Amino acid sequence: MELKNLFYHRYLGGQHGGLEIPAGHSLRLTDVEGGANASLLLFNPRNPLERINLPDTLKCQHTFKLTAGNCVYSDMGRIFCSIVQDDTGWIDSVGGLSNKNHVAKVWGERNYQSDRNDWLQNGHDAMLVEMAKFGLGLRDLAATLNVFSKVETTDDGQLTFVQRHSKAASVVELRFEMDTIVLFSTCPHPMNEAVVYPRNPVDVEMVKSFPVEADDACLNHCDENRRGFLNTRQYQPVLVD
């Protein structure tokens, strides 16, 4: 069975957007040229106080990295989405967002008034713009999921950004288990110090998901995920077409 495309747009590096994704649908992100970054925030549209919680996401799945088979949790112990495909093998969850000072230090200062679409946006401000469209603000900002990016630790415990971790045509697909506001920015990762401001494009698609089966890898990844799915179903039961 082919999944029907319900939304598609190509975002260049340094842009931002937002979607409300119903349960039973998937967000498919494609790194078109390689080396892209897509930072994501997740909120419950019925109660925006419920938001992505990456510390709990990592802790309950006993991992530092996220990849296919993992789930992304809210601060209410529910599962926003399951990672059903990750061609990169590692999704960053600790790097956060770039800010105005970082972008100016690495790539110089530009602003929209003088440079128009060639200005250099940063992840922090881009995300606040998208959040404002849903009545959210600075106090609602949380740690972001940085798709296509990898931050690993060295033997002496230092965090290191892996340049161009994601290859061209790499796909990350998130299956949403509950209705979710998804806000995203394609601004550079805050640890990226490339010579030129990255404009790597990301294709964003929304499709209808396949149903969750009893042998689903994300459901059965660990006992905590099975409890997370139960918590989510109690809040938002599965509707059958």
* Separation between Cα atoms, residue 83 and residue 60, nearest integer Å: 15
**Residue 240's pLDDT band (boundaries 50, 70, 90)?**
low
Range picked from 104-113, 148-157, 169-178 for highest mean pLDDT? 169-178
| 178 contacts: CB under 8 Å, gap ≥ 6 | 23, 44, 78, 79, 80, 232, 235, 236
pTM, two decimals, is: 0.94
Band (pLDDT 50/70/90 cuts) for residue 1 is: very low
Report the share of the chain in percent with pLDDT over 70: 97
pLDDT in tens, 109-151: 888 888 887 789 999 999 999 999 999 999 999 999 999 999 9
- Bridge-based pairing of strands 180-185 and 38-44 is antiparallel
Strands 47-51 and 202-208: unpaired
Which positions ≥6 away from 85 have C-beta within 8 Å? 28, 68, 171, 172, 173
